[in-house]
Amino acid sequence: AQSVTQPDIHITVSEGASLELRCNYSYGATPYLFWYVQSPGQGLQLLLKYFSGDTLVQGIKGFEAEFKRSQSSFNLRKPSVHWSDAAEYFCAVGPFFGNEKLTFGTGTRLTIIP
């Protein structure tokens, strides 16, 4: 069965500093990988997704993620965070073929300090 692990429950970063959020997946084949962001009390917004091709994926809001098959990882990065980036971040994995089900990680809460 597919699974997603986000090892960091909560991360605090200073505004302007760089950010890396970790995501590890377990799946028997090449997965579809996603990063979503959720502001408090809001729905989820897709930041970026990886299906195939270039392993460095660019997303919205200045985010990027790198797929590393050898490490089963899909870490999210941003070179310089803004106070508005404070939110909950979810990594998700889906099957290459088949149904529409996404499996989400438990999330990482990002706090930005001035």
Partner 1 sequence: DTEVTQTPKHLVMGMTNKKSLKCEQHMGHRAMYWYKQKAKKPPELMFVYSYEKLSINESVPSRFSPECPNSSLLNLHLHALQPEDSALYLCASTRTSGLTDTQYFGPGTRLTVL
Specify the residue, 19 or 37, whose C-beta has the smaller distance to partner 1.
Answer: 37
Nearer to partner 1, 16 or 96 (CB): 96
CB of 85 to partner 1, least distance (A): 18
Degrees to nearest 5, angle at CA 103 with 33 and 82: 60
- Whole-number minimum distance, CB 111 to partner 1, in Å? 14
The encoded tokens of residue 87 equal: 């939110």
Q: Which structure tokens are listed for 4?
A: 């997603």
Cα pseudo-dihedral 46, 35, 58, 29, rounded to 10? -120
CB of 5 to partner 1, least distance (A): 12
* Cβ nearer to partner 1, comparing 15 with 49: 49
Confirm if 111 and 86 have CB atoms less than 8 A apart: yes
Q: How far is the CB of 42 from partner 1 (least distance, A)?
A: 5
Interface residues toward partner 1, by CB under 8 A: 32, 41-46, 49, 51, 90, 92, 94-95, 99-102, 104-107
The secondary element (H helix, E strand) that includes residue 37 is strand 32-38
